[in-house]
Structure 1
Amino acid sequence: MKKTIDYGTLMHRAMRGLIVDVLKQVEREGLPGDHHFFITFDTRHPRAQLADWLRERYPDEMTIVMQHWFDGLKVDSDGFSVTLNFGNVPETLYVPLDSIRTFVDPAVEFGLRFESAEHDADDDTDEDAPMETDADAPRHEAEIVSLDRFRK
């Protein structure tokens, strides 16, 4: 049994669930009103699927825009595929949910940011380090997400 509740993992799972719900609604009904999405994802993710030329152009991360033209949006519990237009060349991408770094809908000033795997790995403790008791455990401040940077 764990000694602590992993709120960070639970929060990320809930936020990714929100993205799935939103994208499934768009899959069924299309984008309503002025809604559109900027989605940044890790192109190095082992399950990310994109054309070789796109992976070469964006070796670390890529931001896609779902707004005026996109086709074939298919959402599952692990990610989504979509065909986008890159210079009049349609390309189909598969974006795993756990590769998403940011999800922003500027029409309503909404945004989510996920910490990268490298950041999470840096936070891991060394197995040879002495065990901490609850009284010795470091206290962490809550992460406050500001939407100001996404405002027009």
Structure 2
Amino acid sequence: MTDSSATIDYGTLMHDAMRDLIKRVFLRVAEQGLPGDHHFFISFDTNFDGVEIAAWLRDRYPDDMTIVLQHWYDNLDVRDDGFSVTLNFGDSQETLTVPWAAMKTFVDPSVEFGFRFERHEDDDPDGPDDGDEAPFAELEEEPAPRQDAEVVSLDRFRK
């Protein structure tokens, strides 16, 4: 007999699957580099247990931070529990360690892919996420604006 009050937590299962997908992408990038125009915007909770960032960065981004992996990054180390990467903040290279569970958003604008990880009250000791957007760290120059695609009529290719 089954417990009729138990439910399948699809939200948690989906988040775990997305974290695994991002981990697999990072493993490929760590081995082969970023292909083509791919680049990532990753926002994370700077107060999450296991996040390691320089004190001056924590002062500047006390709640959350968005990093960009695009033109310059080094030492991308992908682990089961998270990743670490060295980024250039102006003239200062800093290594950040981010657990997968600390991620709030992952976006690859080159292919219009993104995912927002919803927080539950029991995930955050300070209460539910208030929905404020994470500030973007000034790590890279802004990507070039996307150009609109040309619309081509298929009649041109018919015989």
Deviation for aligned residue 1:102: 0.3
* Percent identity of equivalent pairs: 61
Aligned to 1:14, which of 17, 23, 29?
17
Deviation for aligned residue 1:116: 2.4
Q: 2 CA distance for matches of 1:20 and 1:114? A: 14
Q: Any runs of at least 4 consecutive aligned residues in structure 1 with deviations exceeding 4 A, and if so which?
A: 119-123
Q: 2 CA distance for matches of 1:95 and 1:119? A: 20
Q: 1 CA distance for matches of 2:109 and 2:78? A: 21
Q: 2 CA distance for matches of 1:81 and 1:69? A: 14
Q: 2 CA distance for matches of 1:81 and 1:112? A: 20
Q: AA paired with 1:88?
A: D
Aligned counterpart, 1:100:
103
Deviation for aligned residue 1:118: 3.9
Please, which runs of 5 or more residues in structure 2 have no aligned partner? 129-145, 147-159
Give aligned pairs, total: 125
Q: AA paired with 1:3?
A: A
Normalising by structure 1, report the TM-score: 0.77
Normalising by structure 2, report the TM-score: 0.73
Deviation for aligned residue 1:15: 0.4
Residue deviations 1:14-64, cap 9 Å, x none?
A: 000001000000000000000000000000001000000000100000000
Aligned to 1:66, which of 60, 66, 69?
69
Q: 1 CA distance for matches of 2:97 and 2:36? A: 25
Larger radius of gyration: 2
Q: AA paired with 2:91?
A: N
Aligned counterpart, 1:142:
none
Q: AA paired with 1:70?
A: Y
Residue 6 of structure 2 aligns to a residue whose secondary structure is coil
Aligned counterpart, 2:150:
none
Aligned-pair Cα RMSD in Å = 2.0
